[in-house]
């Protein structure tokens, strides 16, 4: 055991019975002062909390059938683990959002080996995407599934970054309209064209695919203009096929389908063409965490996602340093009351995803926002 020194004169101490609460009392052999030593077990309790949260263990399996565990770790549910911008450049980044409630989504940005940043918002709008991306150095390529508002945010935050649309999501968007067994010949052809997207490996194949798609659009253009009288109003007969065509036409016009084949970008190495890195490596793992701990409140589900992202972010600080720098619920409430300019609910609760809060919690200097 580490020797206990007198807090007054620094002299050696010896055991001197116990206090009424059972704590060991120490008496200084030099000045005669008595003291007790209180050991900080915050780091141990923090590790216990994260070990449970990121595992399949239930609270019933913890000491005291969960009661002791909940008492020892309750304070960590008040902490908001925020990303710390480190200025590291990544050649390729993947972005996506995981929905936790009807108006609550956590936007996540990851690289090939770690989670880079995360942001909570009401929806996948351009303002939320910009808040996620602005603190991160612009990559050469960003792979996305085409969420609403993303294109506008990229132009504003990362104007020189090339966008690669996830080819699997482009195919899946067509499949939702045509199904895997279309009844119409036009639907069968379009479904096969979309399916072939995931097998393109060269620029020549990409050009042949583009010509094939444009030929399909020209051949079936008159067919897709057919209308039917519905409730006294004219409506397109094949609206679902038209929707599938719009989804592919917009991607062809934007030029985001085959960014991974750009010769200038591939000089440094091959590029991904799907969002599998974040879908399987992040979102699937997050859903497993939420599934393992069913019954958490909405706020705790958000923090569980934040803690998982933080654990994969490569933050090398000690537990004590992290907890000292991370904001708590009381800090968030203060920021909403003082800085928030957004509308609030009828009962006074603030809306999710306020930009002012993000600015205060993601400072680029090393000082906490409350300083």
Where are the domains positioned within the chain? 1-39, 42-78, 167-273
Predicted model pTM = 0.80
| C-alpha to C-alpha distance for 274 and 4, rounded to whole angstroms | 59
73, 62 contact by CB (below 8 A): no
Signed CA dihedral, 263, 267, 268, 270: sign only: positive
Reading the block at residue 361, the tokens are 């919690």
pLDDT of residue 339: 62
Closest to 81 measured CA to CA, from 44, 41, 122, 49: 49
Token look-up 């009392």 returns 25
pLDDT of residue 331: 82
Tell me how far apart the terminal alpha carbons of the chain are, to the nearest angstrom.
38
Closest to 172 measured CA to CA, from 291, 290, 288, 279: 279
Closest to 342 measured CA to CA, from 359, 324, 319, 325: 359
pLDDT of residue 158: 94
Reading the block at residue 45, the tokens are 């309790």
| C-alpha to C-alpha distance for 33 and 340, rounded to whole angstroms | 51
pLDDT of residue 103: 87
Instruction: Report, as ranges of residue numbers, the positions in the chain whose pLDDT lies below 70.
Output: 1, 339-371
Residues 6+ positions from 356 with CB-CB distance below 8 Å: 335, 339, 340, 341, 342
pLDDT of residue 301: 94
CB atoms within 10 A of CB 75: 14
pLDDT above 70: percentage of residues in the chain: 90
Longest dimension (CA), the chain: 101
pLDDT of residue 355: 44
């Amino acid at each position: 055991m580490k020797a206990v020194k007198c807090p007054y004169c620094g002299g050696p101490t010896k055991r001197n019975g116990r206090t009424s609460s059972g704590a060991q009392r120490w008496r200084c052999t030099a000045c005669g002062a008595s003291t007790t030593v209180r050991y900080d077990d915050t780091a141990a309790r923090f590790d216990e909390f994260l070990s449970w949260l990121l595992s399949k263990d239930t609270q019933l399996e913890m000491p005291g059938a969960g009661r002791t565990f909940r008492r020892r770790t309750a304070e960590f549910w008040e902490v908001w683990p925020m990303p710390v911008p480190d200025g590291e450049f990544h050649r390729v980044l993947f972005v996506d959002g995981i929905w936790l409630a009807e108006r609550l989504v956590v936007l996540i940005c990851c690289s090939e080996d770690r989670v880079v940043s995360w942001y909570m918002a009401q929806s996948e709008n351009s303002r939320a995407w910009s808040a996620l991306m602005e603190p991160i150095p612009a990559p050469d390529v960003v792979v996305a599934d085409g969420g609403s508002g993303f294109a506008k945010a990229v132009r504003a935050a990362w104007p020189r970054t090339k966008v690669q649309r996830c080819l699997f999501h482009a195919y899946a968007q067509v499949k939702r309209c045509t199904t895997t067994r279309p009844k119409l010949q036009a639907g069968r052809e379009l479904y096969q064209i979309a399916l072939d997207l995931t097998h393109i490996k060269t620029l020549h194949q990409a050009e042949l695919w583009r010509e094939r798609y444009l030929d399909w659009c020209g051949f079936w253009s008159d067919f897709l203009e057919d209308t039917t009288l519905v409730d006294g109003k004219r409506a397109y007969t094949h609206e679902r096929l038209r929707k599938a065509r719009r989804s592919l036409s917009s991607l062809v016009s934007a030029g985001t389908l085959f960014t991974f084949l750009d010769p200038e970008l591939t000089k440094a190495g091959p590029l991904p063409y799907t969002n599998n890195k974040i879908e399987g490596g992040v979102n699937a793992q997050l859903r497993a965490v939420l599934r393992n701990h069913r019954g958490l409140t909405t706020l705790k589900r958000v923090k569980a996602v934040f803690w998982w992202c933080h654990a994969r972010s490569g933050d090398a600080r000690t537990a004590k340093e992290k907890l000292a720098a991370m904001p708590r619920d009381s800090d968030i409430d203060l920021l909403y009351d003082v800085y928030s300019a957004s509308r609030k609910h009828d009962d006074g609760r603030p809306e999710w995803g306020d930009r002012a809060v993000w600015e205060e919690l993601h400072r680029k200097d090393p000082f906490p926002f409350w300083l």
